Amino acid sequence: MAQTYQDGRAGIDAALVRRLIAAQFPQWRHLPVRPVAVDGWDNRTYRLGDDMTVRLPTARGYVPAVAKENRWLPVLAPALPVPIPQVLGVGEPGEGYPHPWSVRRWIDGETAAPERIRDMAEFAEQVAEFILALQEADATDGPGAGAHSFYRGASPAHYDEETRRCLAALRGRVDTARAAAVWEDALAATWHGEPVWFHGDIAHGNLLVRDGRLAAVIDFGTSGTGDPACDLVIAWTLFEGRSREAFRRAVRQDDGTWARARGWALWKAMLCLASDSTPPDEAAGHRRVIEAVLAD
């Protein structure tokens, strides 16, 4: 009888991963399995030996990203200036675990942080180069924005009701009058372009650094084709001053795209700041993002 999974976040632990590998990829059953140092939320990731990882969705809502990445990562990789995840094997539900999962090649690097980056303005230009290359990749038959991307790539209007609740909840804590004006500008800047590829979560945790430079981009779970405005949010979450201006120049987006990007940044930061479950140090970071968006 298959053993069901009970411990670890979302019931996933190293023992479960070892059983899945042994049952479905016996050629790798001898390799050690251990958690990665920095894990994500949508998926849990484990090292498999020295050269591979195992990626498992933590809930049903994240499952569509698995098939999407398996289908499209090999298509996108040749068009991009730095490595992205390479799928080596596709796993099926088993051993009490109910979702499909995958084995990928390990990419060496550390998540982006100012102290690991040689020159922030240069790094901003490298990120912009990646975004532009992704936008230029062939979007024919690509997955249009929707639930699988948590509506990144669609209009920020999808989150209008949620944003207005946040504005009401944060009254007196942030300048909600200015925030409301930024949000209205985002809604008014309707996107009319042809669909292009977007990553959906260009954030420090998904940018890997080696020798002070951008080495890889990971986690395409919210990727798709549509409006690329969501990929500009990093202008306020990581960059500032000279690096923000370098990013703005290098990424070459129009005013309407920037207006929608401000809306995306504001929505997410206000949502997190308004949540009672957000730790104080993280809340302070979200407040800084809101202030940067309103000041820019």
- Taking the alpha carbons of 156, 158, 160, 163 in that order, is the dihedral positive or negative? negative
Backbone angles phi, psi at 253, to 5 degrees: -110, 155
* 245-292: pLDDT as tens digits: 999 999 999 999 999 999 999 999 999 999 999 999 999 999 999 999
Alpha carbon distances (Å) from 253 to 126, 153, 191, 232, 261: 15, 15, 12, 9, 10
pLDDT at 66: 86
In the three-class reduction of DSSP (H, G, I as helix; E, B as strand; rest coil), residue 214 is classed as strand
Helix, strand, coil abundance in the chain, percent, nearest 5: 50, 15, 35
The answer to whether the CB of 85 falls within 8 A of the CB of 70 is: no
* 111-125: pLDDT as tens digits: 999 999 999 999 999
* 193-215: pLDDT as tens digits: 999 999 999 999 999 999 999 99
Q: Mean pLDDT of all residues in the chain?
A: 94
